[in-house]
Amino acid sequence: MADKEALRALQNRLAQRLQEARSTVPGRAWLAVECGGRGLLFSLQEAGEIFPMSPIAGVSHAQPWFLGVANLRGQLNGVIDLASFLGVASSAECHDHAMLVGFNASLDVNAALLVDRLAGLRGEGQLSLDQGASQMSPTPSFVGPRWIDADGRSWQEISLARLVKHPAFLKIVR
C-alpha cells in the first residue's frame, strides 16, 4: 500500500512539474526518455500524462510493436512499444523502470508509448543542436533534430504530433 501511495505522490509531482514547465519555461522544452538505449525528447506541448506500467491485454493480428490495450485512469489506451516500433532492441527486458507516456489530449489519440525509463525535463538552454549529425538515409517525418547535452549525450527529438499521423504508426493490423 505504501508503494502505491509513493508512486501516486511521484506521479503528482511529475504532473505538477510538467504543468509548471509548460507554462513557465521560455523557449522549447522536452520530456527526456530512454528507449532501447537511446535518448529521446518529446515536446512538452505534445507529451501527455505519465503512467506506471499497467497490465496490458493483447490484441490479435496486431503489429509486434502494438502490445495491446491498457486501462489508464478508466480509459482504454493502445500501448506501443516505442523501441520495437523504431526498430531498436528494448533494453528493459523486465521493464523494471518502464513507464507509459501518453499523448497530449490535443492530439486526440488514446494511446501511450512504452519507454524504458524517464530521464527528466530538458530545456533549450541545456542542449545544443548537434551540427555533426548526418542524415545518411531518409528519416521518417516524425524524427526531428539531434541535440547534445553538457555531458556529450545525444538526444533525438521525436515529434509526437507527426508520429500519430505517420502511416506506419497508423497501421497496427498485420
Per-residue model confidence (pLDDT) at position 94: 52
- Residue spans of the domains in the chain: they are 2-170
Q: What is the DSSP letter of 125?
A: G
Sites in the chain below the pLDDT cut of 50: 25, 92
At 9, is the secondary structure helix, strand, or coil?
Answer: helix
Q: Say which residues have a Cβ less than 8 Å from residue 101's Cβ, sequence separation at least 6.
A: 31, 33, 42, 47, 48, 50, 51, 112, 113, 115
Per-residue model confidence (pLDDT) at position 134: 62
At 97, is the secondary structure helix, strand, or coil?
Answer: coil
Residue at grid coordinates 510493436: 65
- Distance of alpha carbon 103 from alpha carbon 48, whole angstroms: 4
Per-residue model confidence (pLDDT) at position 120: 94
Per-residue model confidence (pLDDT) at position 136: 56
Per-residue model confidence (pLDDT) at position 12: 76
Of 4, 21, 6, 5, nearest to 120 by C-alpha is 21
Find out if CATH 2.40.50.180 is the number for domain 2-170.
yes
Of 17, 21, 79, nearest to 52 by C-alpha is 79
pTM of the model: 0.82
Residue at grid coordinates 548526418: 134
DSSP assignment of 25-68 equals --S-EEEEEEETTEEEEEETTTEEEEEE----B--TTB-TTEEE
109-136 confidence digits (pLDDT tens): 999 999 999 999 999 999 999 887 666 5
Per-residue model confidence (pLDDT) at position 5: 79
Q: Say which residues have a Cβ less than 8 Å from residue 68's Cβ, sequence separation at least 6.
A: 56, 57, 58, 59, 62, 78, 79
